[in-house]
Each structure stands twice: as C-alpha cells, then as structure tokens.
Amino acid sequence: MNTLDNEALHVRLRSAISLAWTILQNKVAYGLIEINKEASLQLQFASILQHVISLITFSKDEEVSLLLEETLNDGTGTCEADVVLKCRKGKKTHSIAIEMKCYKRLASSGNPRGAQDIFHKDVYEDIATLERYISNNQCNETVFLAMTDFVNIVNPKRKVGKLWNYDISDGFVLNGPACFTTPIGGKAVNIHIVHSYTFKWIPKGNFFFLEL
C-alpha cells in the first residue's frame, strides 16, 4: 500500500492544493471566512495552503516555497501568476502555477457588481494563460480555482447573450483546441485554448466553487 511519505513531493503538493481549497470552501460556506473580492480570496487561500504544506514535508531535503503575484513569462510577455508553488527534493524541482477568480453578485459597496460577461471571458483568459505557462516552461503543472455566489453563472435558466460564447456553467465541456474571439466590453478578444476542460462546480452554502 502506498503511504503519504512514499508519494513524490510534487504529488503531495498537488493534493495539498485540493485539500486547502476544500478547507476554504467549508470555512466560507459556514461564515468563518468572508471573501469580498479576488484579492481576499487569494490571501485566504494562500494562508490555508501554507499551513497544509507544513504538514506534508517529511525530510530535511524537501523544500516548498509559496509565492504570491509571481512574475512569469507566458511567451507573449510577463504576467503575474496569483500563486506559484516551487518545491525541491534533493536535486529534483517542480513548480505549480495557480490562477484564481472570484465573482460576487454584490460589490463591497453593496451595489450590484455587473460585468458578468467580463468574468466569463476572464476565466477563459486565465485558462489560456496557464496553458502558456507550461508551454513556455514556466511551470510543470497548473491549477485554476474560482468561486461565485451567482447561481446564474453556474446553473443558468437560459443562455442568452454573447457572454455564453464563454460558457462556464456547471457540466459544460470546453473542447479544445478552440479559439474565442467574441468581443466583450467593447474590446477585441483573441483567446486560444489547447486542452479540454469540464466545469464541475461544487455547491457549498450560498457559494459555488470550481477547480480545474
């Protein structure tokens, strides 16, 4: 039987990301953590993940660093990845880039947020950026995480409007390779996604969470 200490460090690290994300989901759902925008989501997740990481390193030659807003090159220019994990065991290294998105119906001011179409498009852009990080040798693995309290994003009654050219609803399968050029917010868009993704949102309390 395989045990935790026998797993490669990068395998443990990838599992730690999912565990930290699950912990955050429950804390948000039960009101122990309040997320009002993307920046707070990143910070709260990073804090939980840092604690989990401390529990999955077992020898002196295992090192893991967690970096926020780390500069990476996606082949078209420099970007700031929300979270980057770098691990080393002996001479072996491995890195994981994480992008995160948060959309709440109400802004911190209490007013309706709007711009749902931009959120949809931004999800696709982040997925494409993560793919380019790998193809440009900036990391070995990527993870995309998102949360929302807007049920129409996850389980829409109807899919009306150009924002659904960037479909992220529950159960939707994004089949790559594909190119997306529908303008959003009056701006031209050119997003190329290579791989395929299935959107499976997890409901927790009044929120929905996604991990790709």
Tokens of 61: 């030659």
Tell me the two tokens of residue 117.
Answer: 């179409």
Q: Which residue has the tokens 């209490």?
A: 110
73-100 pLDDT, tens digit per residue, is: 999 999 999 999 999 998 899 999 999 9
Integer distance in angstroms from the first to the last C-alpha of the chain?
28
**Tens-digit pLDDT profile for residues 182-204:** 999 889 999 999 999 999 999 99
Question: Could you please report the per-residue DSSP string of 144-183?
Answer: EEEEE--HHHHS-S---SGGGGG---TT-EE-SSEEE---
Q: Which of 26, 24, 55 is nearest to 41 (CA)?
A: 24
- pTM of the complete model beyond 0.85: yes
| DSSP string computed for 104-153 | -SB-TTSSB---HHHHHHHHHHHHHHHHHHHHTTS-SEEEEEEEE--HHH
Say yes or no to pLDDT of 110 above 80. no
Asked whether the CA dihedral 140, 50, 144, 170 is positive or negative, the reply is: positive
Q: What is the DSSP string of 86-105?
A: EEEETTEEEEEEEEEEEE-S
Mean pLDDT over residues 90-116, rounded? Answer: 87
* pLDDT for residue 107 is more than 60: yes
List, for residues 65-74, the tens digit of each pLDDT value.
Answer: 999 999 999 9
Provide the residue ranges of all domains of the chain, joining segments of one domain with +.
Answer: 4-149+202-211
